[in-house]
Amino acid sequence: MESESQRLRLSILGVVMLSLFGALFARLWYLQVMTATQFEQQTTSNAVRTVYTEAPRGRILDRWGKVIVDNRTSLVVTVNPHELDLTNRRPEVLLRLATELTRAGVPTKVSMLEDRLNDKQFNPLQPIPVAIDVPEALEITLKERSEEFPSIDVKRESVRNYPNQPSTIAAHVVGYTGRVSEEELKDAQGTEGAPKTIPKPYQPDSEIGKTGVERVYESKLRGTPGVCKLEVDAKNKPVRTTECTPPVPGDDLVLTIDLELQKNLETNLALQLFAARGSPPKDGVPVRAPAGSAVALNPQNGQILAMASYPTYDPAEFVNGISAARFKQISSGGGSDNPLINRAIAGQYAPGSTFKLVTATAALNQGLINGSTVIVDGGSFKFGELTFKNAGGASNGPVSMAKALTVSSDVFFYTLGGQYWRERDRWGSGIQQQAALYGFNAPTGVPLPGEAGGFVLTPESKKKLNEDNPEAFPYGTWNPGDTVQLAIGQNVVVATPIQMANAYATFSQRGTRYKPQILAKTVKPGTTNVFDPANDVEIVQPEVAQQIPIPENVFGPIFTGLSGVPEKALGGTAGEAFAGWDLKAWPIAGKTGTAQVDDKADTSWFVAYGPAPAPQVVAVAVLEESGFGAEAAAPVVRKLLEPIAGQVPPPPFPVFPPGTDLSALVPSQGQPGAAPATVPTTAAGRRPTR
């Protein structure tokens, strides 16, 4: 009985074993025969790794070929937080890394590394740069002791280099680069039904232009990455390279900017703002002079020769990524605090008397007056219950259009504004229409991101603004005083510096308005001679935006008036600023402007071109809360024009109060100050501007 029981158990065991062997055989047969091809492909695929090598970005050069932005090689330490967390050794590894970095001369705390790895600007599934420009000795240490530093790598990367001193030169023009965001990556790679915007591949850790020229011309500056396919073993170590395509650098850009003029403009804008801060209060209001901007362009083709904005920033801070905390520190302030704002294209200010060019052109073009019309300027203009006065209550007596521009007679233009109101059924919104022809009320189209369009209100647009946002625009009714103040560039009009420069350039060219350009041409990578046509890839041609009517009977009186502005003997408002200038050798036509802003010092404007009447350059400067245009803004333009005209400055320039600390000229990263007004107002009866 016992023997039979044993045989039964053995039989059952044999059946089970045969079943197991049968199942194993069936599985092996399935894997080896049925799916052999599929797994062979997967095995081959898993053994091949595709490695991308970022190509150097194209350089950015000035119009003469001088380098503004270059590239250099940097040793960058990266940490892959996802891989690090899988090791369950994060605190230990980060402490060891912080120690080695500090020994290598890069003082680092674990908290700094954690902040970097947790920064939301980075993808936690990708390597994150935690230190740049580390010594080669550290690279050797980390690679030799790789088991102690899992998920940590050292890479040689091409990063942006700013060879000029200070490295802030042309920061708002060139912009900066940063790691591509998730949204930018999707946009660059394209989606179904939407082609990719840039025909060059990006990886999650690729660099991309974020602002300025770097952003606008990304497709030209970005190189084509190199692609290598590596066969690796089970330990993910390279065995051999199956194929490899080397990276191709991006094209170099030749800007219209003149580097020496750019340095001149930035330096003297900062100096003049600093000097203005030492001046006494105006009408009891402190002169804070927190910010400003300036633009110079060639009126014959629209090319921008220099563009400055203050306070400024250092684009080198953004190399290999700026921390979220530091970025917030830089950018969180209001308008005058934020150095990232390019005020030359985004600052919107009441233009004051510089807008008289528009009113004068409109009145002469429409036949409201002619060049011989004389208006008696007794120092004030009464319109209904409102009284408007000249600056300081000055009385200019009988004035024609030319003299009104030279001495900046507000009464003359108030009178024109009053006539436009009284005869509005006949003349309509003539001033606004002329402003639009000059390019106000809309962006100029300069190829830089963030341009504002300003506004020149009409009765209709003022009403709509009130209806859409009554809190910001509480008054929707167009009043007689609106037209009167529009005539001198106050209350219902704001403009950007580049709009003003382009308007005067248009006048100087007898009505040809060009679209401002920042790029002269694209050339081959590494070009040393930008004037050799063999190096050219693409040349940017001048683009006429509009041709507006400025006949001789309109041009003549206005030109005569603008030419008198720097003439002290004629009572020109910029006569003191241009003392000692040889106006016969290099004639200048220009206009001062001093715009009222409630509860703040005046906005200072000056715009000029020369040599008149066939100018090579038009320049404008705007200084916030800085006082009269002739005192604050005009000297900045003069300093820009001096080397072009071969003129010598009258010493001293500028004048600093005793004990002035010029260390404040170090690029500001957000100084105390209020935002530039976008809707400045002038209370009736207050001193208007010149």
CATH of residue 145's domain is 3.90.1310.10
Residue 206 has pLDDT above 90, yes or no: no
Please tell me whether residue 199 adopts helix, strand or coil conformation.
Answer: coil
Interval 235-246: pLDDT, tens: 556 667 678 888
Q: Report CA-CA distances (Å) from 260 to 162, 165, 223, 307.
A: 15, 12, 29, 12
| Preceding amide of 525 cis, omega within 30 | no
Interval 170-190: pLDDT, tens: 999 999 998 888 788 777 765
- Residue 235: the pLDDT is 56
- Residue 239: the pLDDT is 66
Please tell me whether residue 660 adopts helix, strand or coil conformation.
Answer: coil
**Burial readout 58-89 (b: 16 or more C-beta within 10 A, e: otherwise):** bbbbbbebeebbbbeebbbbbbbbeebeeeee
Q: Which of the two residues, 233 and 77, has the higher pLDDT score?
A: 77
Side chain identity, residue 388: F
Side chain identity, residue 350: A
Please tell me whether residue 615 adopts helix, strand or coil conformation.
Answer: coil
Whether residue 33 lies inside any domain: the answer is no
Same domain? 307 vs 240: no
Kindly state the tokens that stand for 560: 């005569």
- Residue 269: the pLDDT is 97
Whether residue 25 lies inside any domain: the answer is no
Same domain? 151 vs 166: yes
Residues 6+ apart with CB under 8 A from 132: 74, 75, 76, 77, 159, 319, 320
For the segment 12-36, the average pLDDT, to the nearest whole number, is 69
Looking at the structure of the chain, the number of domains it has is: 2
Same domain? 243 vs 268: no
**Pairing of β 252-255 and β 60-61:** parallel
Interval 360-374: pLDDT, tens: 999 999 999 999 999
Whether residue 194 lies inside any domain: the answer is yes
- Residue 94: the pLDDT is 94
* C-alpha 126: how far from chain center: 29
Which backbone phi and psi does 74 adopt, to 5 degrees? -130, 140
- Residue 676: the pLDDT is 32
How would you class 408 by CB atoms within 10 Å of its CB: exposed for 0-12, middle for 13-18, buried for 19 or more?
buried
The sign of the CA dihedral 476, 480, 482, 486 is positive
Going by pLDDT thresholds of 50, 70 and 90, the confidence category of residue 588 is very high
Please tell me whether residue 101 adopts helix, strand or coil conformation.
Answer: helix
For the segment 65-82, the average pLDDT, to the nearest whole number, is 93
Q: Which of 204, 234, 255 is the last residue of a domain?
A: 255
Same domain? 251 vs 264: no
Please tell me whether residue 600 adopts helix, strand or coil conformation.
Answer: strand
- Residue 397: the pLDDT is 95
- Residue 233: the pLDDT is 66
Whether residue 26 lies inside any domain: the answer is no
Whether residue 17 lies inside any domain: the answer is no
- Residue 35: the pLDDT is 61
> What letter would DSSP give residue 31?
I
- Residue 651: the pLDDT is 62
Q: Report CA-CA distances (Å) from 409 to 377, 621, 644.
A: 7, 21, 31
Same domain? 232 vs 339: no
For the segment 613-625, the average pLDDT, to the nearest whole number, is 96
Average the pLDDT over each of 31-45, 356-370, 371-385, 499-513 and give the range with the smallest value. Answer: 31-45
Q: Which of 237, 255, 273 is the last residue of a domain?
A: 255
Same domain? 222 vs 301: no
Domain encompassing residue 94: 49-255
- Residue 132: the pLDDT is 85
Whether residue 7 lies inside any domain: the answer is no
Same domain? 333 vs 440: yes
**Pairing of β 207-209 and β 397-399:** unpaired
Same domain? 268 vs 119: no
Same domain? 216 vs 293: no
**CATH at 419:** 3.40.710.10
Residues forming beta bridges with residue 603, ordered by sequence position: 595
Residue pair 401/364 in contact by the 8 Å Cβ criterion: yes
Same domain? 240 vs 374: no
- Residue 363: the pLDDT is 98
For the segment 289-314, the average pLDDT, to the nearest whole number, is 97
Residue 231 has pLDDT above 70, yes or no: yes
Most confident by average pLDDT, 177-191, 264-278, 667-681: 264-278
Going by pLDDT thresholds of 50, 70 and 90, the confidence category of residue 458 is very high
Residue 673 has pLDDT above 90, yes or no: no
Same domain? 98 vs 143: yes
Average the pLDDT over each of 261-270, 465-474, 504-513 and give the range with the smallest value. Answer: 465-474
- Residue 298: the pLDDT is 98
Report the chain's mean pLDDT, rounded to a whole number. Answer: 87
Same domain? 616 vs 598: yes
Residue 537 has pLDDT above 70, yes or no: yes
Torsion of CA 672, 678, 683, 686, to 10 degrees: 60
Residue pair 190/227 in contact by the 8 Å Cβ criterion: no
Residue pair 295/255 in contact by the 8 Å Cβ criterion: no
Q: Which of 233, 255, 277 is the last residue of a domain?
A: 255
**pTM for the full model?**
0.85
Interval 89-100: pLDDT, tens: 999 999 999 999
Whether residue 143 lies inside any domain: the answer is yes
Whether residue 75 lies inside any domain: the answer is yes
Residue 51 has pLDDT above 90, yes or no: no
How far is Cα 475 from Cα 465, in angstroms, rounded to an integer?
A: 9
Residues forming beta bridges with residue 243, ordered by sequence position: 229
% residues pLDDT > 90 (the chain): 64
